[in-house]
Structure 1
Amino acid sequence: MNVIVSGVAASEPTTGKSASVPKIFTYQGVPYVYWSAMEFRETAGGQVVTRLATRGVQLVRDDAGMMWAAGTQRAWPADQGDEVLGSSADGKVGDLEDGFDVQVIDGRLLMTSGAGTTGCTTPLSPMFGCYHLQIRTSATPLGNHVYNAWVVNNVALPFNPHEYGRFARDPSGNWHIFGQFLPPINTGSAAPGNTVSPSQGHFPVTPSAFQFGSVDASAQPDPTSGPNYLDVPFTLLRAQNLDCQAASARLDPVGNSCASSVARYCRSQGYASGGIMEELNTVQAGVLCFRSEHVASPIVSISQLTARDAHCVAGNLFSDSCASAIAGYCKATGFAGGGFGPMEYSNDAAQVACLDGVAGNIVPTSYTEISGYNTCSASGWPGTTTCFSAVNRACLAKGYAGGYGILDHFGDGATIGCARRGVPR
């Protein structure tokens, strides 16, 4: 036995690669092998899958009858060979393209794959459309991104997360795709009509009728209401920002990598206004995602925030001074519910979230009251994990969808932001 393709080891913080799901086929009498090439990072918070593409090489047989990648008689590194299908700069092909099967049908190359975007690392990842089935074609077996340009767009393939979709032909000559189809992931968007009952099953296809286009016609996330509370694994949040870790999700007023992770995740699920972390444990975070014309996400200069509170500067954007400045900025620009953030920040710019009176409410309370829900002290930093949890639970107890932090405080008194339920889009 010989190993045709081998993985590439990694140690923090370098990137490693692995090879899996081999696909051996013959095209015009020449053998080839494709494999799923996974890229990952070893981080302080654990391993993070950053990208998955499909690569391939031509095979040749040596004098002993062993098969090798053309031009070598050693294991081919997983990150070498042609990337026949992988993410593109124009966004038409996402960060996950896990090829499952290659067949030559009526002289045409056809490949099935599980497709997804950043953070979609397994069929169970809580992301809309993660690992949905695609069928792609190419005029040649090798070359850079030769499968990127053409994807079937006239057949309503099952939208479920799926694994190992493979072509098979029955004794009558009819083609089918077999695979494992899992329950659809609910992140607030309705499952499209081409979702099927979960099963290890098959469905008929007619390859001769396939039509191809440059854009995947599968459904995109479109949340039916908001805000929505979602449980998100830290493995997924680290894919959005490698520095986001459960142990330091809200470590101090200086920086918060998880703020950007949460906002990016929410946007990837159709919540254009971003979101905020409410609760967490060592495995996952509870986040509140916003999509509504009543929630804006403006970019404001940090100097504008400093003008509202002199203690809010670039070095402490997650301080109580900046929370007050952001809420004040939002109210001054017509958003009666105040706001939170920053969700993203760079140099003198910060992206914040502002809620109008339909989406949010500023609620007077006290540390005495909210500390009954979780640890939160008037003498400490009000941006701690437990303070956000306390505010969230206090807002839930008052009938709101959740909370977005302490906006201002004075002695035992505090004002908190509470997000209203059922806000129209």
Structure 2
Amino acid sequence: MKKLLAIFVIFFFMSPIPIISTEKTLHLSKEKIFQLGQSVITKVTYFNSIPSNPNVFSEVNSYKDLELSQFAKVIVPNEDFKITDLLINANGKPVFHLTDGNYIEANKQLIFDDTLINQLEVNQDFWTQPNLTVYDQPYVKGIPASKKTIDSYQKVHASKLAQTQQGNYYYIDDKGWVSASGLSTSDNRMIKVQEMLSEKYNKDNYSVFVKQINTQASAGINADKQMYAASIAKLGTLYFVQERVNNGQLRFDSKFKYVDQVNHFNGDYDPSGSGQISKKADNKEYSVDNLLQGVSQHSDNVATNILGYYGADKYTSNFSTQMQALSGAPWDMEKRNLSSRQAASVMEAIYYQNGKIVSYLSHTDFDDQRISKNIKVPVAHKIGDAYDYKHDVAIVYADSPFILSIFTDKSDYDDLSKIADDVYSILK
């Protein structure tokens, strides 16, 4: 029995045993082989799928053949072209087949998928630049411009921010999407003021200077041209005396005696001119407060002389030095030749003093003419008239307050009002 079993076992192991194979031969396309064999470098450099909205960074050549050897034409950025297939040529290079039958290299350094990257809610104000294009969607290739328009140099509010391959786009409420490059984060309206002044008022007999207080942006026409300033020079007296009150050298209830000498010193005004105080010395005492009010509201020559004589050192070196440093040029109370820029600098300093004279300059005998005539917001201003010269310098309390200084020669009050109205229409 044991012998029989041994013979059977030997026979089993010596007999051939058929093997059944489960392996199959795979036939892969060049494209599939390329995808399986991509390295990190090739993944960064080449596409492995077809972009939904293809665009080019710059001009790219297309070719008539898969091997990219026969030039067909140039594709430019934002050109309408579509891709039908991703192929691999004989050199193992990925190539896009286009709907027009041509080919381009499927290189990410040449081509990008022009689609929305991300979008978020924002709450931000901007000012518009000129020639702004509006879109109904964040701009990518193929999005047409909207028929809506937004005026230049206008304050707008953005509620959304979208990022595309074309850049960042903001949604302007009730208007549409605009490029971030067409928006300014700072108030740029002074550019429009300068354009308007240059177009309408660039005349030799005008000296105009405008300055926004918050932004310090400015515009002007002949802003450094000097003219006889007349009563505009009284701004120096007002500033100097207010400054002495602010630093404690004077008080509003300090009193000065009206003697004859106050009308006879270098820089005095003709007492027979504008004002309500007696034209001849009356030996009465007048408070600093009443005198400041008289100069500001009535352009009172005698009040100016009393303040100049007692409160401004008779316009000697201390006064002259301070006023030149403040205005940027000599402030000569005898000659009174000033520019609109100088006057604006002193009016701005008066704004920062925030003293009583600002209130007094807001309620004058001249509020129905020149700068303040048609402007509905508060205006603190000082006028000046002599011969053919008519001037006005003002703080205009718009949402963003600004200084407006207008000097004219051989003009009229309505001309000053027109300039003021045009400036205010932009900066209001």
TM-score band by shorter chain is: under 0.3
Q: Is the radius of gyration larger for structure 1 or structure 2?
A: 2
Considering Cα pairs closer than 8 Å and 6+ residues apart, tell me whether 1 or 2 has the greater RCO. 2
Q: Which has the higher helix share?
A: 2
TM-score by length of 1: 0.21
TM-score by length of 2: 0.21
